[in-house]
């Protein structure tokens, strides 16, 4: 940013933005994704200080309508911590909480809003975050909506606790645990877990679904197309985090498991539309395929090595790792890899995974290019689409 502070220090304003410009090329298998370029992100943001309050308003112009709002909040100090009110990320997965400018591979892992928390990366509500010695704690209460969703009375809560038993200039060990509860209600969308297992704009696989508000049900038993059942689904997810750095090396793993309540009846046609393949279990000729409660497990392990020697710093106030930064005019090279998987244990073979290899070159602390090869694998449909992707990223 462009930052200005008033003479008395009571007031400041800072303008920033980011451009992530991607190219996707697929090695197609059963599915037929389209090779293309895409603005993954094209954001402007304004933030600053109003006496004892902070504000931030961020819009992603690569998204349509009110769904393009990102961080939009007012915040202030409260009981040794920071109270934030508005639209922002609840304290859950460490990967989710890492800025998209600082992730080491182009897309987030399946323990985040790119999987088990699909479409729920940011929510409208209230959060409080504090830190002491080598710990951080975040607590959230939220309405189950982001600004692009319909208005609804669903709600949720989340908490995350982290511990960094080792944290010095050369090495960090981080442990974290988070817990999330979400409850759909009047006018809520369904709560789902879904993944693009072969990279952005590649094929999707629905992993789990918990019903939303009653207005999203349709059809009648015996029709070709129906989707009926209970409303007001509940989702409970627990996540564990383990991460460490040592000099230029970085490793991070997460394991998240949760229960999605069900009680849904789908016609076979709708089942196939949603899951991409016909049911591999018995569906009643009248009441269709029954989706009961679902246990979902997701995990990943990833690592990176800064070939040019930079160390990934740890932010002890938030319990998140930051990106390496080169010192201009020198650049920096980084290689990274991740194995990433998610499965629904209540459906046979409803599992998607991928292996991603990445090379990043940092021109300077604000501009980098990323290259990723993603080997996708969907056990449910049998599709094995792969992707080569390149991103040019600038942030200011």
Q: What is the contact surface with a copy of itself in residues (CB under 8 A)?
A: 1-4, 10-11, 13, 15, 17, 19, 21, 23, 32, 34-39, 42, 44, 46, 48, 50-53, 55, 57, 59, 61-66, 68-69, 72-74, 76, 85-87, 124-125, 143, 145, 147, 151-153, 186-187, 201, 328-329, 363-364, 366-367, 392, 394, 396
What stretches of the chain show up as alpha helix (H) in DSSP? 94-97, 268-275
CA distance 157 to 162: 17
Q: Which residues have C-beta within 8 Å of that of residue 386, sequence separation ≥ 6? A: 26, 27, 29, 198, 373, 374, 375, 376
In angstroms, give the least distance from the CB of 64 to a copy of itself: 4
Q: Is the peptide bond before 329 cis (omega within 30 degrees of 0)?
A: yes
Nearest Cα neighbor of 101 from 365, 374, 389 is 365
In angstroms, give the least distance from the CB of 24 to a copy of itself: 9
147 vs 313 by CB, closer to a copy of itself:
147
In angstroms, give the least distance from the CB of 332 to a copy of itself: 13
269 vs 367 by CB, closer to a copy of itself:
367
In angstroms, give the least distance from the CB of 344 to a copy of itself: 28
73 vs 197 by CB, closer to a copy of itself:
73
The single-letter DSSP state of residue 151 is P
Q: What is the phi-psi region of residue 361: left when phi exceeds 0, alpha when psi lies from -120 to 50, beta otherwise?
A: beta
25 vs 177 by CB, closer to a copy of itself:
25
47 vs 160 by CB, closer to a copy of itself:
47
CB 100 within 8 A of CB 39: no
Tokens encoding 361: 């070159």
121 vs 176 by CB, closer to a copy of itself:
121
Nearest Cα neighbor of 277 from 380, 383, 204 is 380
249 vs 367 by CB, closer to a copy of itself:
367
In angstroms, give the least distance from the CB of 373 to a copy of itself: 19
In angstroms, give the least distance from the CB of 366 to a copy of itself: 4
What is the DSSP code string of 296-364? EEEEEEEEEEETT-----EETTTTEEPPP---TT--EEEEEEEEEEEEETTSTT-EEEEEEEEEEEEEE
In angstroms, give the least distance from the CB of 393 to a copy of itself: 8
Nearest Cα neighbor of 95 from 69, 70, 75, 116 is 116
């Amino acid at each position: 940013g462009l930052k200005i502070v008033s003479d008395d220090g009571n007031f400041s304003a800072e303008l920033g933005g980011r451009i992530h410009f991607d190219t996707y090329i697929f090695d197609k298998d059963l599915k037929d994704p389209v090779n293309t370029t895409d603005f993954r992100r094209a954001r402007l943001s304004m933030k600053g200080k109003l006496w004892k309050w902070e504000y931030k308003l961020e819009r992603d112009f690569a998204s349509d309508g009110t769904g393009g709002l990102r961080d939009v909040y007012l915040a202030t100090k409260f009981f040794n911590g920071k109270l934030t009110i508005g639209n922002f990320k609840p304290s859950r997965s460490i990967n989710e909480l890492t800025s998209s400018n600082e992730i080491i591979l182009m897309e987030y892992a399946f323990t985040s809003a790119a999987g088990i928390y699909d479409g729920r990366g940011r929510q409208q509500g209230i959060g409080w975050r504090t830190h002491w010695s080598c710990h951080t704690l975040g607590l959230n209460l939220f309405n189950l909506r982001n600004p692009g969703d319909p208005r609804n009375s669903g709600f949720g809560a989340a908490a995350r606790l982290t511990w960094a038993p080792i944290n010095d200039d050369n090495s960090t060990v981080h442990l974290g645990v988070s817990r999330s509860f979400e409850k759909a209600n009047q006018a809520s969308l369904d709560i789902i877990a879904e993944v693009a297992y072969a990279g952005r704009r590649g094929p999707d696989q629905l992993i789990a679904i918990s019903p939303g508000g009653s207005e999203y049900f349709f059809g009648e038993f015996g029709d070709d197309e129906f989707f009926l059942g209970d409303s007001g689904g509940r989702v409970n997810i627990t996540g564990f985090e383990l991460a460490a750095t040592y000099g230029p090396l970085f490793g991070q793993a997460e394991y998240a498991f949760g229960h999605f309540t069900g009680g849904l009846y789908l016609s076979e046609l709708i089942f196939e539309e949603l899951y991409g393949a016909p049911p591999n279990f018995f569906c009643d000729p009248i009441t269709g395929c029954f989706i009961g409660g679902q246990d979902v497990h997701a995990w990943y392990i990833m690592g990176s090595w800064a070939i040019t020697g930079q160390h990934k710093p740890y932010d002890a106030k938030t319990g998140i790792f930051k990106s390496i930064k080169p010192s201009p005019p020198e650049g920096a090279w980084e290689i990274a890899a991740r194995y990433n998987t998610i499965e629904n244990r209540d459906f046979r073979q409803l599992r998607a995974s991928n292996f991603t290899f990445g090379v990043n070159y940092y021109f300077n602390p604000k501009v980098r290019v990323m290259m990723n090869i993603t080997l996708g694998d969907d056990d449910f449909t049998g599709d094995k689409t792969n992707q080569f992707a390149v991103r040019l990223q600038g942030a200011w």
